[in-house]
Amino acid sequence: MLGRALGVAVLPLLLAACGPTAQQQADYNAVDRSGVSPAIYDKMVHDDPLSLSDIVSLSEARVNDGIIIRYIRDHGTVYTLTPPDFDYLRGNGVSPSIVDYMAQTGGGGPYPGGPVVIPPPIAIGIGIGGGGRFH
């Protein structure tokens, strides 16, 4: 029973480590076709957080709002936006839906205006077998 429960808990982590999902790959292809800079595309493919200027560049390249929001959500990026950040994003044509989503991720953390990546939970394995004695 414990082995099955552990397998169910670890399986999603193993699948995530296998590479991008079909949706992520479709999103990466759309970003690549948009003409956005190779540096931003590489950030996305390597699961790096997007800066505010990256978000602006994606918006200027007319990358679909859903792709940008999905990337932010799937990578656990948290933005604590300041009033000048809101002005910067809106003034550079980032859609209200993206700005609103970014604002919802923040929580007044110590990194105003910058992305903070919340790492996924760490999988803990339980070894079976000998090797040592416990007293």
Residues 13-64 pLDDT 10s:
444 556 778 888 888 888 888 888 999 989 998 999 999 999 999 999 999 9
In a domain, 93, yes or no: yes
Instruction: Tell me the pLDDT of the chain averaged across its residues.
Output: 77
Residue-range definition of the domain harbouring residue 44: 20-115
In a domain, 44, yes or no: yes
Annotate 12-81 with DSSP letters as a single string.
HHHHHTT---HHHHHHHHHHHHHT--HHHHHHHHTTPPPPHHHHHHHHHTT--HHHHHHHHHHTTEEEB-
Residues 64-74 pLDDT 10s:
999 999 999 98
Residue 113 has pLDDT above 60, yes or no: no
Structure tokens at 42: 């590489």
Q: Is 91 exposed, middle or buried (0-12, 13-18, 19+ CB in 10 A)?
A: exposed
Total domain count for the chain?
A: 1
pTM beyond 0.75: no
Supply the pLDDT for residue 28: 84
